[in-house]
Amino acid sequence: MIIIPAVDISSGKCVRLKMGQKEDIKKYSDNPVEMALKWEMEGGELLHLIDLDRAIDNSLENKSIIEDIVKALRIPIELGGGMRKMNDIEWAMSAGVTRVIIGTSVLENRKFVEEALKNFGNEKIVIGIDASKGYTAIRGWKEITEKKALGLAVEMEKIGVTRIIYTDIEKDGMLVGSNIEETRKMIKSTNLKVIASGGISSLEDIKNLKAINEPRLEGVIVGKALYEEKFSLKEAISIVN
């Protein structure tokens, strides 16, 4: 299990949201490139990069900043936020992104997901499953569907997906701890590789995830806790190592 620092971009700034609500936004840096480099220098092995404006408003405002981040870093980058068309993925891959996260289209355009898997392979495509009370959320978390997150994960495995990012959106940005039970259930009920996300507030939360003791729990995404200096990235990495 690795620690994956997150950089969320909105209006060219590095920010964090509470429960995905753009009305509840806090800026941490005017320079997302410097922030990404900071996490790389502190030992990050993979960067989780999200374009919030593209995810919520379909805005391309942050495109050049994302390209600058990819050029500046040596570590792999996974990019999410508004990846709903094939040319979105093609642009990301040509820019040097390691893998792309598909979220909303998993429910709205299954054919697109299947085509992306065929064109780029399952190591390049990650499925983001965001859940509220066990039900899948889409469109930047603005819509809660009637689709169970676990059922969606099972369907994704059937079409060839090998890796998902599972986020409990009620915990995201709230610093209240990860949803250990739902994460464990996701791992035990599928053969998917899982990256956990949402709610990490302390080193104890990381220890609790590690205690699941399952090789397919590949990593945990940490955002606000790092920005609020609840612990350092180096401390978090030392826990999993």
Tens digit of each residue's pLDDT (9 = 90 or more) over 12-49: 999 987 655 566 688 999 999 999 999 999 999 999 99
pLDDT of residue 16: 84
The pLDDT tens digits of the residues spanning 154-202 come to 999 999 999 999 988 765 444 555 678 889 999 999 999 999 998 899 9
Both tokens of 22, joined, read 């753009």
Q: Which residue of the set 51, 53, 88, 130 is catalytic?
A: 130
**Quick one: which of 168, 162, 71, 166 has its CA closest to 125?**
162
Q: What is the mean pLDDT of the chain?
A: 91
Domain boundaries of the chain, sorted by first residue: 2-240
* pLDDT at residue number 143: 72
Whole-number pLDDT of residue 55: 86
pTM of the model: 0.92
CA-CA distance, 117 to 126, in Å (whole number)? 9
What was the pLDDT predicted at 177?
A: 56
Give the pLDDT confidence score for residue 145 in this predicted structure.
Answer: 81
SS3 138: strand
Tell whether the model's pLDDT for residue 51 goes beyond 70. Answer: yes
Q: What is the CA radius of gyration of the chain?
A: 16
Catalytic residue at 30? no
pLDDT score for 199: 84
Longest CA–CA span in the chain (Å) reads 42
Superfamily grouping for domain 2-240: Aldolase class I (3.20.20.70)
Active site residue 130: yes
| Single-letter residue type at 216 | R
